[in-house]
Structure 1
Amino acid sequence: MDVVIGEDGLARPAWADGRGTHGDLMREYYDTEWGMPVRDERGLFERLSLEAFQSGLSWATILAKRENFRAAFDGFDPDRVAAYGARDVERLMADAGIVRNRAKVEATIRNAGATISLRDGGGLADLVWSFRPERTPMPRAVAEVPTTSDESKALARELKRRGFAFVGPTTAFALMEAVGIVDAHLLDSHRRGSSGLWRADGTPVEDGPRE
């Protein structure tokens, strides 16, 4: 078992037990946000963008900078970000409050435009959620939590086909975990099943909460 029992008596994975740098922030994120359904365009664009920035870094680093990211990218409003030009790229590259990676900055701007282009066909949320699997993982230990899936590979391919960048299968799976498309909580965690979208046997609740 890879759960840790906290001082509050609740079981969490070690990465969310409140210890270390940004420990309290990580525990709060785990307890209130990670794995909860996100179905709005801006919310999904933000999380897709942050998962892309996280590539090669720790999630704690990105989470600690999230408010800076939101300020720098106009609250992740796709319409505003898609209109960014060269001066905005240089502004972002000079912003020490975010991750200054030119390829990731430019990918975020590109992805904003791709998000807008999806609106006529149902939008980003409909596309991403259409890859919800028939079963969710059932991990008892962190080592049993997958980093990709057939669905994340297919989602990554489709996003790339639609013009998105920095959306490989691992990033796509991390997005699916973060927004509730799969439940990657360990079985003994106090947060397992908190999204209301999955039964105890790993099958979907078809009439689960939609927001």
Structure 2
Amino acid sequence: MTRCAWAGSDPIYIAYHDTEWGVPERDGRALWEKLILDGFQAGLSWITILKKRENFRTAFNGFRPEAIADWGEAEVLRCLADPGIIRHRGKIEATIGNARAYLALGGAQPFADLCWSYVGGQPVQNAPASMQEVPAATEVSTRFSKDLKKAGFKFCGPTIVYAWMQACGLVNDHLANCPRCAEVARMG
């Protein structure tokens, strides 16, 4: 199997590539969780987040925005003391604010509808020939990022948003020679 080169040889990365990355996600709460995790990834490798994902889910109440939106300093301090997650005050506080912004948008379905509206409701099928053809950000991710920030979201710059769009299947950037490219395209 010729996987996308970024999957490397780590079994965690391979499993993520082969089963999850690029699969169209339509559940608004899951989209929100993945956006938060992509925000935590800023400045780090994605494998770091994958290895800590279950710890994040525990620390952040299963990524239930309704619970996180009410958090205060005590919860921030608890997270800062948790060695199982990325202990970054700004990112933890952004998660609380992002939960509030998500709820202000109306929750799961309105958030999912908003996300998918940026790609016309269907995944963008790119099928790049090489990693050099895959952009770090696009006009759409830049516009989406600006709109998320206007809605109160943080840690959602154009590069983070584009990586999240790829991960959540809004964009299919599996390389053309990767078997997952066609498999994911059929899921769209």
Q: TM-score range by the shorter chain?
A: over 0.9
Distance of 1:188 and 1:167 partners within structure 2:
30
Q: Does 1:185 align with 2:174?
A: yes
Where does structure 1 differ by over 4 angstroms across 4 or more consecutive aligned residues?
A: none
Give the drift of 1:120.
7.5
1:112 aligns with 2:103: no
- The residue type paired with residue 144 of structure 1 is E
- In the other structure, the counterpart of 1:84 is 71
Structure 1: runs of 5 or more not aligned: 1-9, 198-207
Count of residue pairs the alignment pairs up: 186
Higher helix share: 2
1:4-153 → structure 2 map (5 Å cutoff): 10-17=1-8, 19=9, 23-119=10-106, 123-132=110-119, 135-153=124-142
SS in 1 for 2:23: coil
TM norm structure 1: 0.83
Q: Counterparts of 1:165 and 1:158 in 2: how far apart (Å)?
A: 11
CA contact (8 A) 1:183 1:193 kept: no
Instruction: Quote the offset at 1:15 in angstroms.
Output: 2.4
Structure 2 gap segments, 5+ residues each: none
- TM-score under structure 2 normalisation? 0.93
What amino acid does structure 1 have at the position aligned with 2:125? T
Q: Deviations over 1:68-108 (max 9, x none)?
A: 00000011001011111110000000000000011000001
| CA drift at 1:122 | 5.5
CA offsets 1:21-76 (integer angstroms, 9 cap, x no match): xx101000100000001111220111000000001100000000000000000110
Q: What's the counterpart of residue 204 of structure 1?
A: none
Identical columns (%): 45
Higher RCO (CA 8 Å, separation ≥ 6 residues): 2
Equivalent position to 1:158, from 117, 134, 147 = 147
Look at both structures and tell me which one has the larger radius of gyration over its CA atoms: 1
Matched, 1:175 2:164: yes
